[in-house]
Chains A and B, each alone.
Chain A
Amino acid sequence: MILVCISPSSFCLCSYYPFAYMRDKHLVNCANSIERLYFLLVSVLLLRLHIRLSGAPIMRFPIDVFSVRLFLRLLVGLILLSAE
């Protein structure tokens, strides 16, 4: 369970280098756009992790109100935490 929790974080860390590389090459706008998409991806990953850990019957349905709620909570939470 701990491994499952840590995996999105390791994924985040490993994939930060392309953004850093692009910024060094002055491709700042491109890096920013990809980074935003990336935050969205991390939110989806965390959502999947949340659902997996909860072991809830919502696993049977790809999208329902609870999944959308979890996604929105994580997305807005990440946006607020990352705000510089």
Chain B
Amino acid sequence: MSKLLHTRRFQRGIQDYKILPSNLESKLHFSPVLSYSIPLVEFVVGLCLMSGFLLVPAALLTLMLFALFSGAILLNLLRGRHDLSCHCGGALGDHRISWWLIGRNGLLMGAIFFLLLTPTDIFTVDKLLRSPSAGSAAMWMSAGLPVVLLVIGVCAVVLLFNTARSVLHPE
């Protein structure tokens, strides 16, 4: 989430990958657009996956994100730039790019394929909305509220982690 607050730093990270030629990059303003859109998509998609809201589009977007990240890493590995930071951050940590990262992203993509190919689990917002009792206050109190509380709780914890980290290790 702190990518959204530190877009300049993330933009420099994207530019480090050198995906587009520099003349094309200056014309298309590729990295400023990505520095805003990627964190936003990550945030929305993360919430959707956890709550089970619009699960299939969220899973497809996640798949596209991991494919984009893996493609960028692969391109730089083939160029021999092994000293480049992956700028992954968060729970995944920050490492230099390597084949291991491609494998890790492959495993995460496998997890998303599994979500797409298996039947929807019962405790998702999608399932709640499609149930016959959808819309009743009792249903939302008994099932919707815990999901909302969970999502808010997790967001608060992640935000606190990032704030504590930036206080302890100011750049």
Which residues of A approach B to under 8 Å, CB–CB? 1-2, 4-6, 8-9, 12-13, 16, 20, 23-24, 32, 35-36, 39, 46, 49-51, 53-54, 56, 58, 65-66, 68-70, 72-84
Contact = CB atoms under 8 A, between A and B. Distances in A.
B133 interface: no
A35 B161 CA distance: 10
B78 interface: no
* Most central of B45, B121, B154, B156 by chain A CB within 10 Å: B121
Interface of B: 1-3, 39, 42-43, 45-50, 52, 55, 62, 65, 88-94, 108, 111-112, 114-115, 118-123, 143, 145-146, 149-150, 153-158, 160-162, 164-165, 168-169
B64 to A, nearest CB: 12
25 contacts: A1-B145, A5-B146, A9-B154, A12-B160, A13-B160, A49-B150, A68-B114, A69-B115, A69-B120, A72-B111, A74-B50, A76-B46, A78-B46, A78-B91, A79-B91, A81-B47, A82-B90, A82-B91, A82-B158, A83-B1, A83-B39, A83-B89, A83-B91, A84-B2, A84-B90
A5 B150 contact: yes
Say whether chain A's binding surface is mostly helix, strand, loop, or mixed: helix
Given A20-B164, A36-B91, A68-B114, A77 B49 contact: yes
Nearest to B92: A79
B89 A80 contact: no
A65 B153 contact: no
A4 B157 CA distance: 15
Contacts of A74: 49-50
